[in-house]
Amino acid sequence: MRDAVTSLIKNYDLAGRYFDRNAIDSLKSYFDSGTARVQAAAAINSNAAGLVKQAALKLYEELPELIRPGGNSYTTRRYAACLRDMDYYLRYATYALVAGNTNVLDERVLQGLRETYNSLGVPIGPTVRGIQILKDLIKEQVAAAGVVNTAFVDEPFDHITRELSEQDI
């Protein structure tokens, strides 16, 4: 797993260049947001299970057909699998949030996810909506924890939804 610093160093090293103003500004931005990133991770960690459960409840309020007979979350086993997957997205998005880099999502979550979901008959649209709901709940939780600017929370969740959505065109 790479973070914002190691990725930046790797890119400049491959190009055989010294850091320029853009690189320095990027590093400064990452370090300036470090405390907020750690606070956000702590806020998520303190209530991860509750956030996942709340996101699932909101998703099923919006899309009740998912939990009706024939729906993809119908039966206890399928419902539990949905919660497990949402928890999985949350955990890896939190890693990416702290690292300031989405590489871990590409390596550990997104690689082969669409193919797996297609083979299991898991609909992508509700998955994307669930991740968006989760992001909104997390931003509220992080703001309640005292983080003023929660914009950095968007990056990992938007990356997951964008990658799933682009592949579903």
User: Which positions make up the binding site for (2R,3E)-phycocyanobilin?
Assistant: 72, 77, 82
As a whole number, mean pLDDT of residues 144-165 equals 94
Tell me the C-alpha to C-alpha distance, in Å, between residue 23 and each of 35, 36, 41, 101, 155.
20, 21, 25, 15, 19
* pLDDT at residue 121, rounded to an integer: 86
In the chain, the number of structural domains is: 1
Residue 94 counted as domain residue: yes
Chain segment 91-115, per-residue pLDDT in tens: 999 999 999 999 999 999 999 888 8
Residue 123 counted as domain residue: yes
Residue 113 counted as domain residue: yes
Q: How many CB atoms lie within 10 A of CB 152?
A: 17
* pLDDT at residue 131, rounded to an integer: 97
Domain that includes residue 156, residue range = 33-164
- With H, G, I as helix, E, B as strand and everything else as coil, classify residue 159: helix
pLDDT cut 70: percent of the chain above it: 97
**CATH number of the CATH domain containing 76:** 1.10.490.20
Whether the CB-CB separation of 135 and 153 falls below 8 Å is answered with yes
pLDDT of 132 > 90? The answer is: yes
Residue 25 counted as domain residue: no
Chain segment 25-74, per-residue pLDDT in tens: 999 999 999 999 999 999 999 999 999 999 999 999 999 999 999 999 99
User: Which positions make up the binding site?
Assistant: 72, 77, 82
* pLDDT at residue 168, rounded to an integer: 42
Residue 65 counted as domain residue: yes
Residue 3 counted as domain residue: no
Residue 68 counted as domain residue: yes
pLDDT cut 90: percent of the chain above it: 87
With bands split at pLDDT 50, 70 and 90, how would you rate the model's confidence at 166?
low
Chain segment 9-22, per-residue pLDDT in tens: 999 999 999 999 99
* pLDDT at residue 169, rounded to an integer: 40
> What is the secondary structure of 83-128 as a DSSP string?
HHHHHHHHHHHHHHHHHT-SHHHIIIIITTHHHHHHHHT--HHHHH
Q: How many CB atoms lie within 10 A of CB 90?
A: 24
* pLDDT at residue 2, rounded to an integer: 81
Residue 153 counted as domain residue: yes
Whether the CB-CB separation of 4 and 26 falls below 8 Å is answered with yes
Tell me the C-alpha to C-alpha distance, in Å, between residue 78 and each of 20, 72, 124.
51, 7, 15
| Half-sphere CA count of 76, side-chain side, radius 13 A | 0
